């Protein structure tokens, strides 16, 4: 039973990684894509404004809710695992929006996400809540800033 919440957080980290990399970036770089707001608006604003992007994206909220719905069959297998995934999704929405309103806080406490936006390669550091999947998949890059 102890491993179930941990499994949920690990699964959520990998789900976040996959969605961010393949949907929000790979598809998001195509102007006609449903996901183009992420690359074309969010990343542009963050780079232009030194990480600041105070806009709360309705698409982001809807996307997270849809992911929770799509992954809901896990609840029938392990309600505790699914609850941990829901917790991760909630933390994601809160932390991601807070970070982009408070760049100094993000730099200090979510450096991996700051590195994603402000580093040399915006195709690294896919995770927001915690960088577990980035470390395991070799996509965590640390950058120094002047």
Contacts of 1 (CB under 8 A, 6+ apart): 80
pLDDT at 3: 95
Residue 38 domain flag: yes
Residues spanned by the domain of 25 = 3-105
Structure tokens at 10: 């690990």
65, part of any domain = yes
What does the pLDDT read at residue 146?
A: 64
Its pTM stands at 0.94
> ∠126-16-97 over CA atoms, to 5°?
80
Asked if residue 125 belongs to a domain, the reply is no
Distance (Å, rounded) from C-alpha 106 to C-alpha 104? 5
pLDDT at 57: 87
| Domain assignment present for 135 | no
Please identify which residue in the block is written with the tokens 């309600």: 79
Domain annotation covers residue 124: no
Number of domains within the chain: 1
Longest CA pairwise span in the chain (Å): 50
Any domain includes 128: no
Q: List average pLDDT for each run of 10 residues in the chain, which is 146 residues long.
A: 93 97 96 93 95 91 96 97 98 97 97 97 97 98 88
pLDDT at 34: 92
Q: What was the pLDDT predicted at 145? A: 87
Q: Are 38 and 28 in contact (CB under 8 A)?
A: yes
Residue 144 within any structural domain of the chain: no
């Amino acid at each position: 039973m102890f491993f179930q919440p941990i499994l949920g957080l690990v699964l959520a980290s990998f789900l976040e990684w996959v969605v961010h990399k393949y949907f929000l970036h790979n598809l998001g770089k195509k102007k006609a894509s449903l996901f183009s707001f992420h690359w074309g608006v969010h990343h542009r604003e963050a780079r232009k404004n030194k990480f600041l992007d105070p806009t709360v994206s309705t698409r982001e909220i809807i996307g997270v809710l849809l992911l929770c719905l799509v992954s809901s069959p896990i609840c029938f297998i392990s309600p505790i695992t699914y609850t941990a995934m829901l917790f991760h999704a909630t933390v994601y929405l809160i932390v991601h929006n807070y970070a982009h309103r408070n760049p100094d806080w993000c730099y200090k406490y979510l450096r991996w996400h700051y590195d994603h936006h402000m580093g040399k390669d915006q195709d690294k550091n896919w995770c927001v809540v915690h960088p577990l999947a980035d470390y395991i998949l070799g996509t965590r890059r640390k950058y120094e800033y002047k």
